[in-house]
Structure 1
Amino acid sequence: MPSVKAALSKPFAKIIAWRIKKWASNPIETQENVFQNLITEAKNTVFGKDHNFSEIITHEHFKSKVPIRDYEDLKPYVERVVKGEESILWKGKPLYFAKTSGTTSGAKYIPITKESMPTHVDAARNAILMYINETGNSKFVDGKMIFLQGSPTLEEKNGIKLGRLSGIVAHYVPKYLQKNRLPSLKTNCIEDWETKVNAIVEETIDEDMTVISGIPSWVQMYFEKLIEKRGNKVGEIFKNFNLFIFGGVNYEPYKAKFENLIGRKVDSIELYPASEGFFAFQDKQNEKGMLLQLDSGIFYEFVEAEHFFSDNPERITIKDVKLGVNYVMIISTTAGLWAYNVGDTVQFMSLKPYRLIVSGRIKHFISAFGEHVIGKEVEQALKEATENTSITVNEFTVAPQINPEEGLPYHEWFIEYENEPENKAKFIEDLEQSLQKQNSYYLDLIKGKVLQPLKITRVKKDGFKTYMKSIGKLGGQNKIPRLSNDRKVADKIYELQLTK
């Protein structure tokens, strides 16, 4: 017999599904309303005055006055906000700073405002409600739910609280879920990731876990420790576990491994959250891609990745995007980010409604020879090469080998196996053929004898975990880059292979 909570979730899910359908059915108008509201609300800010927001009426005006920026470009404004100044990027002061790891400037402080904070919470809730509305499955709300996340402990800087996004969001879990939610606050505040996962195992192993959520690589670590302790598959330990919620990376490379760890298939919901905004979530179990959140105070622009680094690349809105094209996503938000390059590349799978996948990072690609191989392509190659085989891969990354000791340059794949291929030559050939099929530039370089076929370097067990620990990024929201255009990651992993 379902509980009152489970029963009430269904009519609530129906209402939310109706609201989402309403704006998803009017995407252009919805985005235009978001755009006009952003300009109106921010025209008296320092940024708004510096960029003549009072003169902006159309997207063409906006493009001419507001150039694309990344964090480094926006930093002078952010630093003023961090110092405590008001109405710099958005009216008033932000509620929080989401603190993330910067590439060239150390820590990055991404503002979260009174207007933007609810969109992070609502999107996560709505993803679950859309699942309930589609499947009719609401029984899981009566069980225990775990969200593997960063510490909810927040610091303060000039009157503004700061912490990891997942830690900030942890303070907004609805009251009706508080009793179901694990781990405890004490465990969640543990900073060391390995200590934290061990504590989570102790807290959850005898509970009725029905929902498990987190970045796949770190959930995998949790699953492995559960199995190590109990000796059973996760699906046997948690008999009612039937929903896995994930985000941050593509699930496909982990899918076979997870099904083996769980011992059966479970439903999953993919999310696309970031410190800068909650951009999309999977709204249908059998449709590829995630529904772009067009009504969440975020105005989206897109630039074809192929032309992104050229002078004055064309910026388009959703009405002009096409299926299957690799775009860099640019956002303007109620948190005061303006024409901001998130760094992600996306591809649209559907235009009615607008559903997309994350295809990679604009800085995470290999184009040492003009091939411009992206994350989606290496993930797809690995998926095709391991399909219908016993091969399972724990983790991998790819880098160019520009100056080999002998022969032509090549792409070097660093792979940590769970089950190694019996026929390694065939596995390499299948990877190679899939990559050539997907990327014509790469194919031309192989045919033209500029590159030789890829090579694989086997990474010993827990090698990637050792690497992440060595750079202080074990756990939380940190992820291994799928590929790099240089040897920094590759050389460090290789060095650790030899020394540890």
Structure 2
Amino acid sequence: MAFPIVNSIISWFLKKRIHQIELFLKYPSDVQQELLLKLTYTARKTVFGQTHHFDTIKNYNDFAKHVPIQKYESIEPLIERCRKGEQNLFWPTQIKWFAKSSGTTNAKSKFIPVSNEALEYCHMKAGKDMLCLFINNNEETQLFTGKGLKLGGSSDIHEDGNSYFGDLSAIITENLPFWADYSSAPSQEVSLMAEWETKMEAIIDETIYEDITSLVGVPSWMLVLLNRVLERTGKDNILEVWPNLEVYFHGGVNFNPYREQYKKLIPKKDFQYYETYNASEGFFAIQDRNGSKELLLMLDYGIFYEFIPMKNYKGENSTTIPLSEVKTDVNYALVITTNSGLWRYLIGDTVRFTSLEPYRIKITGRTKHYINVFGEELNIENVEDALKLACEKTAATITDYTVGPIFMKDKNSGGHEWIIEFNEKPESMSYFTELLDNALKSINSDYEAKRYNSMALAMPKIHVAKKDLFYDWLKKRDKLGGQHKVPRLSNSRAFVDELLNL
């Protein structure tokens, strides 16, 4: 446990960063343009830089003209060469770390390059900023009188000849300074344990007698851990175990389905929830205000941003716009250029700007994870908002869910087939279904049009999943823990059929 004076010193040190954040808040376009030119200049002598004439790039238009938009498949050959030991291919400094994407499908794994610059000036810098913004908004915090409990992903680090690969959280843990163990739990040794369920028990053993003041992790897996802590200790809520708990930093999945369950587990009126937006490719945004549901886009992490309006989305053949041209309430696909050598990379996420001064966003989903079999254009944001409304009116809470299409057959309408695992089940499933359907109609006009007289879309079909169905499904696929997620929406029936068979 740290003394109050240590808490004050650490808080003062972290808050010094606020002045730098204020700089990109005041001059966002200048910061981004300067960053773009710095990235292209730095990589001008790499194989990729020479191929795409980086030495001639003077502005954003030059960059967009010379460098194509790319998906992983486009750059995979260079990444594979780098993994085998070749350097200076797409980034000039040595790259030996590769974050293996967890994904939600059986698709081939991706190996995302992670440079030393990205580790220091993006991922680790963001971790400090997350604390900085919280401290700046909560002057009386005693966060550093205790420890932060961090629940990372799969912690296997694999050596592959001249390189190493693993989950991003494992790479970060492997590169943390020695003193990090003093301020966080579990220990590095436990964090790097490979088998998820064994690690979960070891985390509980190490932390139930610690003074835990913050939590960090993906909501679905943190929920599993907290419930097991209560089972082990016999306590009624988490505050009886960790009375000084102040904040939960979460990301990875939408928090709305889990919010009510967390309120029951942590019954503290002034308890704070702070959302973050990060991925193997980079750390992008952080909630910067108490109680907000918007995320501040972080502009000085070595990441240059471009955007594709989803109404004009054509994958790698799309036309992008820079940050200076975005508008609020438009759904955009995110394109990034990073200090790990990802150039105009189509990450697959979609966002919507809620504010332009400063630039704040909400995550709306994935370019692939939506349902548009019948022209209904249903995205994650629509579904999460509708579920929230239905749950509020029926006092239901949800553990996990997935949705797939019911394809039209003969003269029968199509539809959406849902599998939902409830923590608290509604009294009437038919009423819940009706509420969900009506909420989707009110939120999405395309869905409403297709539902008219059930001509294209019939009423949603909902299956109530048995307890731990999704957990068992992920375990069967060796995808327990950390960044592994249940796929929410799909234009295919693959996930729905596989789960129904369980």
TM-score, normalization by structure 1: 0.95
Q: Any conservation in 2 of the 1:9–1:129 contact (CA below 8 Å)? A: no
What are the ranges of 5 or more consecutive residues in structure 1 without an aligned counterpart? none
Match of 2:250 in 1: 246
Match of 2:173 in 1: 170
1:262 and 2:263 aligned: no
Cα pair distance change 1:144/1:92, threshold 3 Å? closer
Distance in 1 of aligned mates of 2:315 and 2:204: 50
The equivalent residue for 1:400 is 405
Root mean square deviation of aligned Cα: 2.0
Q: CA deviation at 1:114?
A: 2.2
**In 1, Cα distance between equivalents of 2:261 and 2:398:** 7
Q: CA contact under 8 A between 1:2 and 1:139: conserved in structure 2?
A: no
Q: Tell me, in whole angstroms, the C-alpha distance in 1 between the residues paired with 2:281 and 2:439.
A: 34
Alpha-carbon distance, 1:158 to partner:
3.7
Once structures 1 and 2 are overlaid, which stretch shifts more, 254-263 or 171-180?
Answer: 171-180
Are 2:32 and 1:26 equivalent residues in the alignment?
Answer: no
Paired amino acid for 1:139: Q
* Aligned-partner residue type, residue 433 of structure 1: N
2:127 match: 124
Contact 2:102 2:484 in 1 (8 A): no
Pairing partner for 2:489 from 470, 478, 483: 483
Matched-pair contact (CA < 8 Å) for 1:7–1:138: no
Mapping 1:369-384, distance limit 5 Å: 369-384=374-389
CA deviation string 1:247-294 (max 9, x = no partner): 111111110111122233521111111111111111111433111111
Q: 2:344 aligns with which of 329, 339, 346?
A: 339
Q: Does the CA contact (< 8 Å) of 1:148 and 1:213 recur in 2?
A: yes
Aligned to 1:110: 112
SS of 2:334 mapped into structure 1 = strand
Match of 2:471 among 465, 480, 496: 465
Q: Secondary structure at the match of 1:107?
A: coil
- The whole-number CA distance in structure 1 between the counterparts of 2:68 and 2:422 is 44
2: distance between equivalents of 1:426 and 1:153? 45
Q: 1:143·1:180 contact (CA, 8 Å) conserved in 2?
A: yes
Q: 1:394 to 1:234 in 2, by over 3 A?
A: same
Question: Which ranges in structure 2 are unaligned for 5 or more consecutive residues?
Answer: none
Which stretch has the larger CA shift, 385-394 or 403-412?
403-412
User: Given residue 30 of structure 1, which amino acid in structure 2 is its aligned partner?
Assistant: V
Distance change (3 Å), C-alpha of 1:43 and 1:335: same
Q: Give the Cα separation in 1 of the matches to 2:465 and 2:316.
A: 40
CA distance in 1, matches of 2:282, 2:421: 32
- Alpha-carbon offset, residue 14 of structure 1: 3.1
Report the AA paired with residue 59 of structure 1. Y
Instruction: Determine the C-alpha separation between the residues in 2 that align with 1:225 and 1:355.
Output: 35
Question: Structure 2 matches for 1:433-448, cutoff 5 A?
Answer: 433-447=438-452
Q: Is the 8 A contact 1:23 1:294 kept in 2?
A: yes
How does 1:223-238 map onto structure 2 within 5 Å? 223-232=226-235, 233-238=237-242
Q: Which residue of 179, 182, 196 corresponds with 1:179?
A: 182
2:283 is aligned with 1:272: no
Q: 3-state DSSP class of the match of 1:476? A: coil
Matched with 2:162 is 159
> Could you say what secondary structure the match of 1:343 adopts?
strand
Matched, 1:60 2:61: yes
The percent identity for this pair of structures is 37
Deviates more, 1:372-381 or 1:105-114: 105-114
State the AA in 1 paired with 2:125: D
Distance 1:31-1:461 versus aligned 2 partners, 3 A rule: same
Query: Which residue identity lines up with residue 452 of structure 1 in the other structure?
Result: A
Q: How many angstroms apart in 1 are the aligned matches of 2:155 and 2:496? A: 33
After TM superposition, the structure 1 = structure 2 runs for residues 31-430 of structure 1, keeping only pairs within 5 Å, are 31-101=32-102, 106-118=108-120, 119-173=122-176, 177-232=180-235, 233-265=237-269, 266-309=271-314, 312-387=317-392, 389-403=394-408, 407-430=412-435
Matched residue SS, 2:321: coil
- State the distance in 2 between where 1:367 and 1:404 align: 17
Q: How far apart, CA to CA, are the structure 2 residues paired with 1:389 and 1:240? A: 33
Can you list the C-alpha shifts for 1:80-126, whole angstroms capped at 9, x where unaligned?
A: 11121111001032141112246676232111112211110011111
- Kept in 2, the 8 Å contact 1:371–1:441? The answer is yes
Task: Tell me the distance in 2 between the aligned counterparts of 1:407 and 1:205.
Answer: 55
In 1, Cα distance between equivalents of 2:118 and 2:354: 27
- Alpha-carbon distance in 2 for matches of 1:459, 1:32: 49
1:221 CA drift (Å):
0.5
> Which residue identity lines up with residue 447 of structure 2 in the other structure?
Y
